[in-house]
Amino acid sequence: MSNQSLKLLKSRLDARNFAALEAIDNERLHAFVADAVELCCPEKVWVSTDNSQDIDFTRKMALQLGEEKPLAITGHTIHFDGIEDQGRDREATKYLVPKGQALSAALNQMDRDEGLKEVREAMKGSMQGRIMIVRFMTLGPNNSDFSTPCVECTDSFYVSHSLNLLYRLGYEEFKRLADKASFFAILHSAGKLDARMVSAEPANKKIYIDHTAETVYSINTQYAGNTVGLKKLALRLSIRKADREGWLAEHMFLMGVRGKHGRKTYFAGAFPSACGKTSTAMLPGETILGDDIAYFRVVEGRCMAANAESGIFGIIQNVCEKDDPAIWAVLNKPGEVIFSNVLVKDSKPYWLGMGIDIPSEGESFCGAWKKDMKDAKNEEIPCAHKNARYAVTLKALENCDSELDNPEGIELSAILYGGRDAKAYVPCQQSFSWEHGIVAYGAALETETTFATVGKEGIPEINLMSIQDFVAISLGKYVRNNLEFGKKLIKPPQIFGVNYFLRHLPAEADKEEEKRTGKKKLPPFVNGIRDKHVWVKWAERRVHGEIGCIEAPTGLIPRYEDLKALFKELLGKDYTPDDYEKQFTIRISENLAKIDRVVKFHREKVTESPDEVFKVMEEQRRLLKVAFDKFGDLVSPTNLPEHD
């Protein structure tokens, strides 16, 4: 196989680039690249190694070809994705499943043979007149049990540039592993491009995951979530690999939370996009190890974790100097940053919620933009997209954790699960056990859809462990893997549920107005934006047994006096008994309704959901009903018993 593949590659590549591929002794790699060349018919093939000249070449080409444009601050560039290519596309992203097999009903899938025929037909000749870029990267630290080698072939230097910032270089790792490299492969083409170097046929985008061959195909799209294959696309493959090998691949951040006497406690957190994930990982005074994808392994009874990535592809909306000082600093000083889909005026970027005056015109994802501009549906076009992003290497951040590239990983002490729950769960609570946390906060995670995914916003849905869209095994098996993982640990991480989006109970006047007008009026949130720091610090002190708690039907919640001290210490804020009452009153009927939705989802959408899911949720139902019989529908935290 390799001889034939190398023969083809030698006939199509110049001496320098052929030598770079031949130096990696791996038959499957040669076959993959040769097939990609034959299928996509590029004018040239350029192979990137790990040397600094190659890394710099990628950035220069992205600018030269117009996929990115320079901004006023040295090293900053802007990339646009086009008005119809602004997020992960669930409908266009499909699992290719062999005949006779099926994944969970909650996942988008199609017959493998039909899908391969369809996507390969779409990619045929797609790189004519262009350069195919061959990139070698790794997921997880190099030379580590956490490491997975990856190769991506793309015709986008913007994608290649993004890889430089977001992942660890892997050419030398491929050479070291040679034929032992079991790797993920990604083939991407932006497809036809318009004058702005934007994919011209986004309606024909196809993003197909062939998990049986550990290969991803992507065409007619440039949005990084659909094209930087090591991100969520490879996460699907990592989950299957983890399932086979007995570890966990999670959609989670990793951070170091500082505590008393200089200690640092490592937390992971699973939040759907635009639910506070990156802003939690970037809390001032703490350290960040990763903001998106984490791998967990059991090592001598301990839960060890590592960041699959080494950069941030973060949502920029609402990033401001007051609330996000670490990110704000990076976005306003020289250094490599790729902005995407923000407004640009006089070579300066502007985004929604940045806390300064926005120009009334400029260039944006829609092209030339002016204030009050309307789209084809007569809806106002914002100056920047809600899902506008920035890409930056973690090491550019002053608070980057020193253990980022530790091949052994870090020991994990706590896990947070959080979503957009306007009605039920309190802002923070601790699970009764590993099993209770995995089920009641993870497998029951409920959120509202946001702008980060193509489709309608504000629709409540279960997003199991914030990873549902990416699970390429049955969802039931995924939950069971998490439950079983905890049993292997001598001291499992403590599990917490957080909810930054609980709203005040609607006032009677608002209810009457809603009935009269038919227009829904949402009450304000019970949380302030910066309150999340208090919830995280409370969890850190609970991990170390330094403070007590109150036993509620849904978990262990904070005591007023502990929160009062933390609000003053962290935020300089007076925290009142009224604040506490509004945030931590248990809403019985809303929590019972939530249980009904969770149980219905697991019965109808989750193949072979573990019995533990139903046992835990029914026990939570029982505790809620006991509290209702004793206190009524709204249970004040002051009526609940204290707990060690």
- What pLDDT score does 163 carry? 98
Predicted confidence band of residue 459 (pLDDT cuts 50, 70, 90): low
**Is pLDDT of 450 > 70?**
no
Residues 386-420 as b/e (b if ≥16 CB within 10 A, e otherwise) read bbbbbbbbbebbebbbebbbbeebbebbbbbbbbb
The vertex-463 CA angle with 273 and 140, nearest 5°, equals 60
Torsion of CA 62, 63, 65, 66, to 10 degrees: 110
| pLDDT mean over 228-256 | 96
Tokens of 66: 């117009």
Predicted confidence band of residue 278 (pLDDT cuts 50, 70, 90): confident
| pLDDT mean over 44-51 | 98
404-424 per-position pLDDT tens digit: 999 999 999 999 999 999 999
**Is pLDDT of 531 > 60?**
yes
**Alpha-carbon Rg of the chain, whole angstroms?**
25
- What pLDDT score does 192 carry? 95
| pLDDT mean over 485-512 | 88
Rounded-to-integer distance, Cα 474 and Cα 605, Å: 10
| pLDDT mean over 571-596 | 97
CB 199 within 8 A of CB 193: yes
Predicted confidence band of residue 82 (pLDDT cuts 50, 70, 90): confident
Rounded-to-integer distance, Cα 266 and Cα 297, Å: 15
Which residue, among 114, 70, 113, 115, has the nearest Cα to 92 in the 3D structure?
Answer: 115
460-474 per-position pLDDT tens digit: 789 999 998 888 898
**Residue 411: enclosing H or E segment and its boundaries?**
strand 410-418
- What pLDDT score does 508 carry? 58
**Is pLDDT of 275 > 80?**
yes
Tokens of 306: 């590592």
Q: Which of 13-22, 285-294, 443-452 has the lowest average pLDDT?
A: 443-452
**Residue 539: enclosing H or E segment and its boundaries?**
helix 532-543
Tokens of 529: 């934006």
Residue 416 φ/ψ, nearest 5 degrees: -110, 140
Tokens of 620: 């939570």
What structural domains and CATH numbers belong to the chain? 2-66+90-246 (3.40.449.10), 249-308+403-643 (3.90.228.20), 313-396 (2.170.8.10)
Tokens of 307: 């960041």
**Is pLDDT of 520 > 90?**
no
- What pLDDT score does 549 carry? 98
Helix axis angle for 27-40 and 2-12, nearest 10°, is: 40
**Is pLDDT of 572 > 80?**
yes
Rounded-to-integer distance, Cα 533 and Cα 525, Å: 16
What percent of the chain has pLDDT above 90? Answer: 85
Tokens of 457: 């916003």
**Residue 120: enclosing H or E segment and its boundaries?**
helix 112-123
588-609 per-position pLDDT tens digit: 999 999 999 999 999 998 988 9
Catalytic residue among 153, 275, 303, 383: 275
**Is pLDDT of 226 > 80?**
yes
- What pLDDT score does 451 carry? 43
Rounded-to-integer distance, Cα 426 and Cα 414, Å: 18
Q: Which residue has the higher pLDDT, 581 or 450?
A: 581
Q: In the predicted model, what is the mean pLDDT of the chain? A: 93
| pLDDT mean over 172-179 | 96
Task: Please enumerate in sequence order all residues whose Cβ is within 8 A of that of 19, keeping only pairs 6 or more positions apart, or say none.
Answer: none
Catalytic site includes residue 41:
no
- What pLDDT score does 461 carry? 87
- What pLDDT score does 454 carry? 44
Task: Please enumerate in sequence order all residues whose Cβ is within 8 A of that of 322, keeping only pairs 6 or more positions apart, or say none.
Answer: 355
Rounded-to-integer distance, Cα 497 and Cα 614, Å: 19
Rounded-to-integer distance, Cα 341 and Cα 83, Å: 9
Whats the size of the chain, residue-wise?
644
Which 8-state DSSP code applies to residue 488?
T
Which residue, among 388, 541, 522, has the nearest Cα to 81 in the 3D structure?
Answer: 388
Handedness of CA 317, 321, 323, 324 (dihedral sign): positive
CB 243 within 8 A of CB 481: yes
- What pLDDT score does 472 carry? 86
Which residue, among 328, 325, 316, 311, has the nearest Cα to 365 in the 3D structure?
Answer: 316
Rounded-to-integer distance, Cα 637 and Cα 290, Å: 34
The vertex-519 CA angle with 516 and 522, nearest 5°, equals 115
- What pLDDT score does 452 carry? 43
**Is pLDDT of 455 > 70?**
no
Tokens of 480: 């069971």
- What pLDDT score does 529 carry? 87
Look-up: residue for tokens 């990416």?
470
Which 8-state DSSP code applies to residue 400?
B
- What pLDDT score does 456 carry? 52
CB 249 within 8 A of CB 293: yes
Rounded-to-integer distance, Cα 147 and Cα 173, Å: 10
Amino acid at 592: L
Which residue, among 612, 537, 552, has the nearest Cα to 587 in the 3D structure?
Answer: 552
Predicted confidence band of residue 453 (pLDDT cuts 50, 70, 90): very low
Tokens of 512: 């009457």
Which residue, among 223, 454, 447, has the nearest Cα to 341 in the 3D structure?
Answer: 223
- What pLDDT score does 595 carry? 97
Torsion of CA 139, 141, 142, 144, to 10 degrees: -110
Predicted confidence band of residue 559 (pLDDT cuts 50, 70, 90): very high
Which 8-state DSSP code applies to residue 359?
P
